[in-house]
Structure 1
Amino acid sequence: MRPDILQTQLTTTNNTRLDNQRIAFRADASLEIGTGHVMRCLTLADALREKGAECWFICRSHPGHLAELVRTRGHHCHLLDSVSESEQDSAGISSPIHASWLGCSWMLDAAQTGDILAELCPSWLVVDHYALDAHWESMQRVYVDHIMVIDDLADRSHDCDLLLDQNLGRQTDDYRECVPPDCSLLIGPRYALLRPEFARLRAYSLHRRKSPHLCELLISMGGVDLPNSTGHILDILKQCALPDDCRISVVMGTHSPWLEQVRHTASTMPWETEILVGVNDMAQRMAHSDLAIGAAGSTSWERCCLGVPTLMVILAQNQVSIGNALHHQGGAMLIGSPADPHFELNFCEAISKIKSNQSHIRKMYENCAILTDGNGCYNVIAWMI
């Protein structure tokens, strides 16, 4: 979109209220799914609430759901009952690759969600779920005015009015055959859904990177980290030649099954290492870090906004395209997956390369900082309005 058109939309958005409008979200978190889908929906919901909207989440009660967090943030949450294994048959005309993540058939989920939407009568339904596609979305049309889909995969059809894929390297053509002809496509990190504190800390964070250092390390492998990649990385770091005054901060989610084991590993590190659980000041911690070690998920755009140089790790198949795109952009160094046979060697070589020539940190900061300025939520809301 031309900058002048976007600026006009943003100006309109800043002066427009959404009082008494209801926005519904269908997203899940679990030990298998992780927390990213619900977390980015929460970011959008917070921004919509600033405009006066009332946000309602519809989530299934998987182990590791985030219903209480949603409510703590001031939003409503309908928690759908978990379904027994005998009722989880997902056979039908819709079979996305991630269909099992739903925990029931798409038809049952559509019916249960529709019952809630019929009472809410929302102006928008925002769908952020790899297990849902056009068949499910079409069944909700009768209950809502507009449907927005948040996706990363471009691997299934959608029945929506607005589609967001915030990932670098994605093209509008990737979705043209997946959506109706009149669907608006918001593609790329300029639309990344980031909390406002990232935009507020951007200038400070970029300024301190003009003199590169390698002292403060930040490790964040996602809200669940089911394979315990965090512990694996700490073990590898013991073999790396980090500076003597290095300090390591490890951020973990409250639902991580490996928390106590990671705490034990941290106590054996040669450098000061702290374990932080369920932090609410992630932007501040990123801004103070000199190098991040993190998964190539949606947190990538938070790091880019703050110009944080990153050693990037692939923890899921849907992170491969993000990792490759950022690596080619020069905004991060892609290490690969912990399952790769050369992962440990690649990791140690990357640390050694950065320590011997910290100009690599400066280059990564410069290349990633240009991708997003942290105002993606407001760019998206401009289209919704």
Structure 2
Amino acid sequence: MVRRNTLVIRVETNNKIGLGHFMRCRAFAQAWARQGGHSIFVMADASQIILERLVSENIQVELLDNLEDEIDHINRIGDQNSAEWLIIDGYQFSAEYMKALKQRRWKILLIDDGVPLLHYPVDIILNQNQYVDKSIYADKTNAKLLLGTQYAVVQEEFFRTRSWRRDFPNIGSKLLITFGGADPNNNTMGIINSIIENCSAFLSEIDTRIIIAGTNKQKPSIENLVKYLKNIQVFSDVQNMADHIRWCDILVSSAGYTVIEASLHQTPMILIPNSSNEKQLASKMNEIGASIVFMELQEPNCHLIVNLICKLLKDGDKRKQLGKAAGRLVDGNGTSRVIDEILNLSK
């Protein structure tokens, strides 16, 4: 196997941003490693759990001490490691930021979700969203455009199980709830409270798993709320998300990165978006019959989400329809396709 050059990745993860940007960048590092390459994550901050996870995968981490010197710091990392490619993922990175980096003659891949910029001074733009419209980049870039779910990136555990196919029992009994690394609207607590208050008998009929980030400020409250409910388990900072996705009959989730990996495993989804970008994705998934969307989980209508979950668990045909539609979007090979484009531009 040919040893690839070092790949430098600029990304952040925290309570506000969540984990989605980090996880798809991790997917790139894992795919690059399969090609025999080495990756360096450049971050301003990272939890101990994130650092340990990267180190365990032989991914180097460089923490920025001073954001004012960030460009110089990244350029030094590039020079010291003879790095050619820089991946940038985050809504905070401006066109001016990328232009300044291009002065070193970096080749830049921007992972974008449609955040509008006046111009995109990069070499590749990856927008893996189902709702993407190439017209948003018209006259703003000379970059190679990799658009749509055929380029959807998935982490290694999903890549290894990409050929797995789901069964759809007539009556479902396994519910997975997760709202990513941030859960800014505290939807996890909202759904649990709704189930307890409106349909407590429902809990004895199903098994429920709740996945939260260890940094979620509501973690103690969530654990305390369910500690006497034997059919509910809380997991934090999981490293086997693919196992949980394959386990469930229904996923209730925000409409972030998890949607991509859940689609690969043909998962029936109820999506509750947290942001405008997530609303776009959730609406498109609903439009093509790949999910059910519950736009806002507010106090007056919380009981409606419980009714929806109960109804969907009892409707095997509907779950099959949703899962099959989602599964047609993602085949698990998107990361490899993007890596091929990087290598083609490196020749």
Is TM-score (shorter-chain normalized) higher than 0.5? yes
SS at match of 1:143: coil
After superposition, the C-alpha distances for 1:330-382 in whole angstroms (9 at most, x for unaligned) are 111111133x4664144134224324533211110111110011111111111
1:1-39 Cα offsets, whole Å, 9 max, x none, are xxxxxxxxxxxxxxxx55151110010111111121111
Deviates more, 1:189-198 or 1:37-46: 189-198
Query: How far apart, in 2, do the equivalents of 1:65 and 1:263 lie?
Result: 19
The equivalent of 2:7 in structure 1 is 23
What corresponds to 1:11 in structure 2?
none
| Alignment match, 1:150 | 111
1:201 corresponds to which residue? 161
Partner of 2:178: 220
What corresponds to 2:96 in structure 1?
A: 135
Shift in CA distance, 186/226, structure 1 to aligned 2, threshold 3 Å: same
Shift of residue 237 of structure 1? 2.0
Give the counterpart of 2:208 among 248, 253, 257: 248
Indicate if the aligned counterparts of 1:218 and 1:292 stay in contact, CA closer than 8 A: yes
Runs of 5+ in structure 2 lacking a partner?
none
From 45, 50, 59, the counterpart of 2:29? 45
2:289 is aligned to 330
Q: Is the 8 A contact 1:124 1:147 kept in 2?
A: yes
SS at match of 1:366: helix
Deviation at 1:135, TM superposition (A): 1.1
Q: Which amino acid aligns with 2:128?
A: Q
- Provide the TM-score with structure 1 as the length reference: 0.82
* Aligned position for 1:110: 71
| Match status 1:281 vs 2:265 | no
Distance in 2 between residues matched to 1:32 and 1:118, nearest whole Å = 32
Separation (CA, whole Å) in 1 of partners of 2:69 and 2:338? 30
Q: State how 1:54-65 maps to structure 2 within 5 Å.
A: 54-61=38-45
Q: What is the alpha-carbon distance in structure 1 between the residues aligned to residue 301 and residue 134 of structure 2?
A: 33
1:60-75, aligned counterparts within 5 Å? 60-61=44-45, 66-75=50-59
Could you tell me whether the CA contact under 8 Å between 2:78 and 2:84 is conserved in 1?
A: no
The count of corresponding residues between Structure 1 and Structure 2 is 340
Task: State the alpha-carbon separation in 1 of the partners of residues 209 and 21 from structure 2.
Answer: 24
- The answer to whether the 8 Å contact 1:218/1:250 transfers is yes
Instruction: Quickly say closer, same or farther: Cα 1:374–1:62, change in 2 above 3 A.
Output: closer
Displacement after TM superposition at 1:128 (Å): 0.4
Asked whether the 8 Å contact 2:173–2:206 carries over to 1, the reply is: yes
Matches within 5 A, 1:1-385: 17=1, 19-61=3-45, 66-81=50-65, 108-156=69-117, 157-180=119-142, 183-206=143-166, 208-209=167-168, 211-238=169-196, 239-240=198-199, 242=202, 244-269=204-229, 272-338=231-297, 340=298, 343-385=301-343
Shift of the alpha carbon at 1:320? 1.1
- Kept after mapping to 2: 8 A contact 1:124/1:146: yes
Quote the offset at 1:140 in angstroms.
1.2
Contact 2:4 2:36 in 1 (8 A): yes
SS in 1 for 2:86: strand
For the aligned residues, what is the CA RMSD?
2.2
* 1:216-268 CA distance string (max 9 Å, x none): 11111112324432111111122247374300011112212111111111225
Instruction: Please state whether the residue corresponding to 1:276 is helix, strand or coil.
Output: strand
Q: Secondary structure at the match of 1:66?
A: helix
> Structure 1 residues 348 and 178, CA, compared in 2 at 3 Å: closer, same or farther?
farther
* Distance change >3 Å, CA 34–CA 278, structure 1 → 2: same
**Counterpart of 1:4?**
none
Offset, 1:62 = 6.2
Maintained 8 Å contact 2:195/2:303: no
Following TM superposition, by how much is the alpha carbon of 1:297 offset from its aligned partner in structure 2, in angstroms? 0.1
Deviation, 1:114, is: 3.0
Which one-letter code corresponds to 1:272 in the other structure?
N
Q: CA deviation at 1:144?
A: 4.3
Letter in 1 for 2:147: I
